[in-house]
Amino acid sequence: MKRALFPGSFDPFTIGHYDIVKRGLTLFDEVIIGIGHNADKHSYLPIDERMERVKRIFADEKKVRVVAYDGLTVDCAKKEQAQFILRGVRSVQDYEYERSMADANLQMSGIETVLLYSKSEYAYISSSLVRDLMRYNKDISHLVPTV
């Protein structure tokens, strides 16, 4: 059973994240979405609301599970028996960040990170962009999965 943990703060979960999970499902038997905590970011939506949203999005997808975790991503991966970490890359900036996380996670645990390039049409979408629109009560329906 090939399992991948897809970690992130998902504050909120976007159609870019959704696309990575869907494409991850063609590579892995199970994708576990891990809602973690980025110590450098102050969260906007409470963890319970983020969990609920993501659970609703994948309610009909048997090969997806959603968990919340505190602490290190590799510890969550081990707990969930995921042999891989799955992440999406949109840009050169993402690449540098992903490279150092992947190196650190591999060194700490032996767990490999699998990176998927985001589709070009989603490359501009970020949770921070969606948060900004939410703050000003703008339409975000084209940026987040419909549930």
Give dist(CA 59, CA 64) in Å, integer: 9
Give dist(CA 144, CA 37) in Å, integer: 20
Q: Which is nearer to ligand PNS, 37 or 55 (CB)?
A: 37
Examine the residue annotation and report whether 120 is marked as an active-site residue of this protein: no
Q: 84: helix, coil or strand?
A: strand
Contact 32, 4 (CB under 8 A): yes
Residues in binding contact with ligand PNS, number by CB under 6 A: 10
Please report whether residue 81 would count as binding ligand PNS according to CB under 6 A.
no
The structure tokens 């450098």 sit at: 40
Give dist(CA 62, CA 45) in Å, integer: 26
Residues 39-68 touching ligand PNS, rule: CB under 6 A, are: none
Q: Nearest distance from residue 142's CB to ligand PNS, in Å?
A: 20
Closest CA to 50 of 9, 5, 6: 9
The structure tokens 């994948």 sit at: 58
Please report whether residue 9 would count as binding ligand PNS according to CB under 6 A.
yes
Of 3-11, 25-33, 59-67, 115-123, which segment contacts ligand PNS by CB under 6 A? 3-11
* Phi-psi group of 141: left, alpha or beta (phi > 0 → left; psi -120 to 50 → alpha; rest → beta): alpha
Please report whether residue 73 would count as binding ligand PNS according to CB under 6 A.
yes
The active-site residue, picked from 3, 9, 17, 87, is 17
x/- contact string, 90-109, with ligand PNS (CB under 6 A)?
-----------x--xx----
Please report whether residue 8 would count as binding ligand PNS according to CB under 6 A.
yes
Which residues in this chain contact ligand PNS in the complex, by CB under 6 A?
7-9, 36, 38, 72-73, 101, 104-105
Catalytic residue ranges: 17, 41, 90, 127
